[in-house]
Structure 1
Amino acid sequence: MIRLLWTASAEVRYYLRRYMPSNIVLDLIRSRRGLKWALPAMLLAVPYLLVASWSTALIENGGPGWLHLVVLIGIWNALKMVAIGSVSLAMLVKARARERQARRHRERQVHDEVSLFELTRSGR
């Protein structure tokens, strides 16, 4: 029974990870090239919250009960978009610091090689 539940949860996770638009956006943002788009992606929380609000209004006016699921998904996706903004900002700062450190290291190596070449040329 546990194996069946484990397999089912893995398949559901795979499906959601692969085909749900918010997860696709999150995967794109987590790449180095996508980190710069995280703050604009936070604005995607607004439409998700509007859909949740609209669904709540429909439910209060006698709409079907399955709209509760739409409200839950809308709020969850809005929270994901807000969270990725702050997390990716930290990731972007860290990546730029690493790149700056690597650039300085390369410049130092080139400078040392040029200095060594000049020393060997001068005969010292």
Structure 2
Amino acid sequence: MLRTIWIASLYVRAFMRRFMPTNIALDKLRTRSGLKWGVPAMLLSVAYFYLATLMSVLIDDGASKWLYVVMLVCIWNAFKFLVFGPVSLVQLMRVRAAERRARRTVDRREPQCAAA
């Protein structure tokens, strides 16, 4: 039974990483060129929180209770983008520090040429 649940969760995770728009966006933001967009991407959490409140209002006005699932997904996505902003800053600092160290190492290895 545990094995079946484990395998099902692996398939669900693979599906979500491949086809869900927020996961695709976060994968693009995790690249070296995308890390600088981490903080502006936090603004997407505002839109997701707004959608969650809109779903809450619709449910209170008599819409289907299935909108709770949509509301939960919106809140989850909002928190993903909200957390990714500071995480991307830390990752960007680490990447830039590693690039700086690599540049210094290359500069030290190159022999100094005398100007003619």
Which category of TM-score, normalised to the shorter sequence, fits these structures?
A: over 0.9
Tell me which amino acid in the other structure corresponds to 1:82. Answer: L
State the Cα deviation string for residues 5-30 of structure 1 (Å, max 9, x = none). Answer: 12111111111111001111111111
1:39 corresponds in structure 2 to: 39
User: 1:52 & 1:22 partners in 2: Cα distance?
Assistant: 15
Identical aligned residues as a percent: 47
User: 1:77 & 1:66 partners in 2: Cα distance?
Assistant: 18
**Deviation of 1:3 (Å):** 2.0
User: 1:50 & 1:36 partners in 2: Cα distance?
Assistant: 25
TM-score (norm 1): 0.86
**Deviation of 1:47 (Å):** 1.2
- Rg comparison, structure with higher value: 1
User: 1:114 & 1:68 partners in 2: Cα distance?
Assistant: 67
Matches within 5 A, 1:1-124: 1-110=1-110, 113-114=111-112
Structure of greater relative contact order (alpha carbons < 8 Å, 6+ residues apart) = 2
User: 1:8 & 1:98 partners in 2: Cα distance?
Assistant: 38
Tell me which amino acid in the other structure corresponds to 2:6. Answer: W
**Deviation of 1:36 (Å):** 0.8
Higher helix fraction: Structure 1 or Structure 2?
1
User: 2:91 & 2:6 partners in 1: Cα distance?
Assistant: 32
User: 2:32 & 2:60 partners in 1: Cα distance?
Assistant: 43
User: 1:11 & 1:26 partners in 2: Cα distance?
Assistant: 19
5+ residue gaps, structure 2: none
RMSD: 1.3
